[in-house]
Amino acid sequence: MATPLKRIRGLGAAHHGTETFWRQRLTAVANVPLVIFLIWFVVSHAGASYDKVRECLANPVVAVLMLALIWSAAIHMRIGLREIIEDYVHTKMCKTVSLMAVTFFAALVGLASTLAILKISFGS
């Protein structure tokens, strides 16, 4: 039986359901303008030389927007994959290994992409 306070908070058995829900919605909303920016960037630089694209990516505003997209997408991906695994994988060991793999994969994608953007931005 749920107490009135528990119903108001809406936390459920795991005590983090609404937090995860809102975090995923927040990253989804953040991804909309960031992906629009990415599409605009790719379309406007279609056919441009490598040096021109590299020069544009070295712009601090563009680099920050690209980094924001990378991290927002990586966090969103991790949350979504985690929810899928928690819902559909029922073996405890398989679930644990899968959750660890998803976390490491999202971190690896985020870090590798961040390194690439930073190298381009600083001209290395």
Q: Where are the domains of the chain?
A: 32-121
Nearest of 66, 44, 60, 67 to residue 123 by alpha carbon: 60
Q: For residues 56 and 106, what is the distance between their CA atoms, to the nearest angstrom?
A: 26
If residue 13 lies in a helix (H) or strand (E), which one and from where to where? none
pLDDT tens-digit profile of 18-75? 888 899 999 999 999 999 999 999 999 999 998 999 999 999 999 999 999 999 999 9
Averaged pLDDT for residues 95-104:
96
In whole angstroms, what is the distance from residue 115 CA to residue 120 CA?
Answer: 9
pLDDT for 97 equals 96
In angstroms, rounded to a whole number, what is the distance separating the alpha carbons of residues 89 and 98?
9
Q: Which helix (H) or strand (E) holds 1?
A: none
Q: Does 1 or 79 have the greater pLDDT score?
A: 79
Cα-based angle 30, 34, 39 (whole degrees, multiple of 5) = 150
Least confidently predicted of 16-20, 86-90, 98-102? 16-20
